[in-house]
């Protein structure tokens, strides 16, 4: 069985393994890592399964496949094994079923990111089975905990198992490379070359506990609610990075639409599903996502807690912190939960050239463009080692599919023929075939 024949089944089987990351260190990727290890063992690829001390279920897998001797350094292919939780009642299929329906594989992880895990696994297995070697040494990292910031996954590996990555000069992973069809003669593939920084924080207000019928001097719930509302209503000013300015300029040219760098929103309004993906990359953001206080209606609690998901653009970290300080003031305790930097690389060089050639060889009307991800990936960890990190999960999608809405969404699914397209592109990329 070749890579195209088995990739959808691999994706389905990966989805069926429960690897939900609940945050706060709660998750279990061990069975998923063992499944990947078994598939690599079938083709005699040795691997190491590893977890941080005291976290035996938060399991990652590392493997290395020698190349033909390229002097460009090794290429890291990294994908996370964990997925986010779901509310099953909202789904059309059981979220861990890996069901085949309407030409797609359905289930949590089909988009984020067991699709790419399956494609990498399929291509590597096919290469080894057929006696082919990749052009460059490949380092495979199937990692835990990405959905909670990677503290027990990529971040831990970079801190504790750096020897695996010493000669890696480039890295490929998720949230880029899927298509947007513009017309009969143009299909865009947005390649992720930048991502916003991450600032998850906990805000705590302390007040005076007492009976619900009294008038307290400080009501922690009311004071925290006011601060959270200020953050939630605030809109940071537009700031276009080089990546986003370049993308919008090219899009305006392709679509024959005007573009004003000082006011890009009229152009965004014409981009359809792409607007959601690009729109959050034009400014810093801070969104309250969680509040907790009290236990009983007639008891004023002594404290209240809120969580805020902050994202800042490259070069905007200090400005983000300054504004958040103004919005929150000094009356609250602010504790960082996860803090990760923004990253950005240029859309040039040998890796980008290889990606472009592999895409156009399989899709003659393909046109790759760089973009900034408003969220974050494990590239934040691997970027620290000096790699050029790119999000490239190649999928040629139906023109009417709103793929970006399926990330962490209901009825997550990926077309089978898109997976097969991705396998062909990745095989070209890894083997050096244009």
Q: Where are the domains of the chain?
A: 3-180+371-431, 195-340
CATH code: domain 195-340 is: 3.30.70.360
Question: H/E/C letters for each residue in 145-187?
Answer: CHHHCCCCCHHHHHHHCHHHHCCEEEEEECCCCEEEEEECCEE
Q: What is the structure's pLDDT at 210? A: 87
Q: Report residue 417 as tokens.
A: 């023929």
Q: Is 181 exposed, middle or buried (0-12, 13-18, 19+ CB in 10 A)?
A: middle
Q: What is the structure's pLDDT at 238? A: 95
Q: What is the structure's pLDDT at 434? A: 62
CATH class of 3-180+371-431: alpha beta
Q: What is the structure's pLDDT at 276? A: 85
d(CA 145, CA 154): 8
d(CA 253, CA 19): 43
pTM of the model: 0.92
- pLDDT profile of the chain (434 residues), mean per 10: 95 98 95 98 97 97 93 95 96 98 98 98 97 96 96 97 97 95 91 96 92 86 94 96 94 91 91 87 96 92 95 96 94 91 95 97 96 94 96 96 92 98 98 79
d(CA 357, CA 361): 6
């Amino acid at each position: 069985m070749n890579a195209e024949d088995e990739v959808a089944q691999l994706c389905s089987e990966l989805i069926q393994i429960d690897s939900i990351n609940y945050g706060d260190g709660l998750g279990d990727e061990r069975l998923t890592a063992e499944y990947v290890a078994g598939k690599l063992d079938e083709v005699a690829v040795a691997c190491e399964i590893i977890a941080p001390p005291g976290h035996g279920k938060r399991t990652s897998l590392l493997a290395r496949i020698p190349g033909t001797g390229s002097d460009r350094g090794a290429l890291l292919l990294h994908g996370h094994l964990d997925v986010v939780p779901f509310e099953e009642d909202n789904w059309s299929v059981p979220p861990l079923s890996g069901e085949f329906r309407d030409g797609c594989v359905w289930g949590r992880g089909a988009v984020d990111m067991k699709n790419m895990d399956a494609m990498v696994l399929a291509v590597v297995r096919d290469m080894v089975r057929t006696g082919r070697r990749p052009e460059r040494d490949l380092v495979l990292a199937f990692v835990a905990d990405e959905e909670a910031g990677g503290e027990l996954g990529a971040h831990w590996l970079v801190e504790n198992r750096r020897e695996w990555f010493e000669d890696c000069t480039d890295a490929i992973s998720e949230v880029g490379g899927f298509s947007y069809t513009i017309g009969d003669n143009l299909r865009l593939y947005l390649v992720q070359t930048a991502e916003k920084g991450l600032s998850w924080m906990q805000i705590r207000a302390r007040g005076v506990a007492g009976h619900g019928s009294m008038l307290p001097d400080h009501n922690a719930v009311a004071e925290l609610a006011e601060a959270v509302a200020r953050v939630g209503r605030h809109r940071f000013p537009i700031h276009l990075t080089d990546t986003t300015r370049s993308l919008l300029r090219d899009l305006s040219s392709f679509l024959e639409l005007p573009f004003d760098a000082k006011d890009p929103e009229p152009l965004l309004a014409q981009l359809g599903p792409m607007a959601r993906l690009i729109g959050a990359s034009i400014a810093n953001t801070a969104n309250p996502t969680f509040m907790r206080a009290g236990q009983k209606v007639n008891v004023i609690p002594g404290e209240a807690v809120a969580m805020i998901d902050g994202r800042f653009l490259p070069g905007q970290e200090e400005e983000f912190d300054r504004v958040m300080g103004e919005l929150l003031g000094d009356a609250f305790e602010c504790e960082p939960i996860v803090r990760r930097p923004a990253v950005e690389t240029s859309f040039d060089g040998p890796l980008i050239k290889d990606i472009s050639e592999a895409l156009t060889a399989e899709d003659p009307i393909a046109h790759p463009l760089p973009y900034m991800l408003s969220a974050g990936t494990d590239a934040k960890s691997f970027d620290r080692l000096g790699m050029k990190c790119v999000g490239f999960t190649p999928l040629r999608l139906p023109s009417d599919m709103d793929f970006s809405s399926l990330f962490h969404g209901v009825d997550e699914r990926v077309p089978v023929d898109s997976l097969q397209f991705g396998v062909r592109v990745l095989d070209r990329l890894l083997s050096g075939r244009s």
